[in-house]
Amino acid sequence: MIPPSLVTEDLTIRFGGHVAVDAVSCAFRPGELTVIVGPNGAGKTTYFNLISGQLAASSGRVLKDGVDLTRLSPSARAHHGIGRAFQLTNLFPQLSVLENIRLAVQARAGLGWRVFRPVARFTELTARAERYLEATRLTAVAHQPAAALPHGDQRKLEVALLMAMEPDIYMFDEPTAGMSIDHAPDVLDLIAEIKHDQSKTVLLVEHKMDVVRALADRIIVLHNGALLADGAPDEVMASRIVRDVYLGTSEDAA
C-alpha cells in the first residue's frame, strides 16, 4: 500500500473545557479523496485549522511524509505541501486575476511576492499562470481586478491560487457554500480533476450528500470532535451510528 502523505496522531485541541477536536488519529494517502462529514460544530473546520497551522494543537501531532509539522507556522506548513484554499484576504484585490495567479506561481518558485521581475522570468511565470487560468476556466476574466469578480469566480480564483502553489495536500472546506447552482459544478469539476492526479491527497469538508457521493473515495465522520467512522462511502453511509448522528440532520441540506 502507498504510504500516507498526511497523518494526524491523537490530534487534540481544547478551548477552555471544550474539546473541539478529540484525539483524532487518521492517515491520508496520495490518490485518495476523503470527505469529512459531521454535524454543525463537530470539529471539521477546527481539524483543518490544526492541520494547516491556523490553530496550535493542545496535544498530538501532524506529520507530512513523516516530517513533524506540529510546531510549524501556516506558511512553513504550506512550504511542506499543505494546501489550504486561500482566503480572499490573501488576494491583491486591485490586481487582475492573472496577476494574482502569477504572484502565487512566483511565490511557489521561491521568488517571493514582489511584482517586478526580470522580463524573461516574468514571461515564463506568466505562461504558467495562464495554464492555471485555463484549468480554472477564468481566461475570460483574466484582466479584471480580482475584487470585481462575482462570488462564483472568486471561489474559482481561490482554487487557481491553490493549484499555483502546487501542494501535495489539498484541503477544501465547503467549497460550494454560498454558490449559485450554476457555479457549483465548475468548482466540483476542478476538485474532480485534482483528484485524478494520483500524486495528490484531497480532503474535502462537504455537507451536500450528492457531492459526497460523486467525489468521495472514503468518508470519515467527526462527531463532538472525535472520529466516529472511517471507511468506504457505501459502508459509512449505511452504518447505523452515522445515520443516527449525521444523516438525520443532513438530508435537508442534500
Ligand X SMILES: Nc1ncnc2c1ncn2[C@@H]1O[C@H](COP(=O)(O)OP(=O)(O)OP(=O)(O)O)[C@@H](O)[C@H]1O
Report the interface residues with ligand X, using CB under 6 A: 15, 20, 38, 40-46
Nearest-approach distance from CB 10 to ligand X, in angstroms:
17
**Region 101-120 residues binding Mg ion, contact defined as CB under 5 A:** none
- Is the Cβ of residue 20 or residue 149 nearer to Mg ion in the bound state? 20
- E strand or H helix that includes residue 104: helix 97-108
- DSSP bridge partners of 64: 6, 67
Q: Which three cell numbers stand for residue 173?
A: 472546506
Q: Where in 31-50 is the site for Mg ion (CB under 5 A)? A: 44-45
In the complex, what is the shortest distance from the CB of residue 18 to ligand X, in angstroms, rounded to a whole number? 6
**H-helix or E-strand spanning residue 171:** strand 169-173
CB of 47 to Mg ion, least distance (A): 9
With CB under 5 to 8 Å by kind, the binding choice for 199 among Mg ion, ligand X, none is: none
Please say whether the beta carbons of 133 and 97 come within 8 A. Answer: yes
Contact status: 54 vs Mg ion (CB under 5 A): no
Q: How far is the CB of 15 from ligand X (least distance, A)?
A: 4
Q: Which is nearer to ligand X, 15 or 113 (CB)?
A: 15
| Chain Cα centroid distance, residue 154 | 15
CA 96 – CA 102 distance, rounded (Å): 10
CB 203 within 8 A of CB 172: yes
Q: How far is the CB of 174 from ligand X (least distance, A)?
A: 7
H helix runs in 74-169, sequence order:
74-79, 97-108, 119-135, 151-164
Instruction: Evaluate whether 204 touches 250 at the Cβ level (below 8 Å).
Output: no
Give 54 or 70: the residue with its C-beta nearer to ligand X. 54
**Out of ligand X, Mg ion, none, which partner does residue 41 contact, by CB within 5 to 8 A per kind?**
ligand X
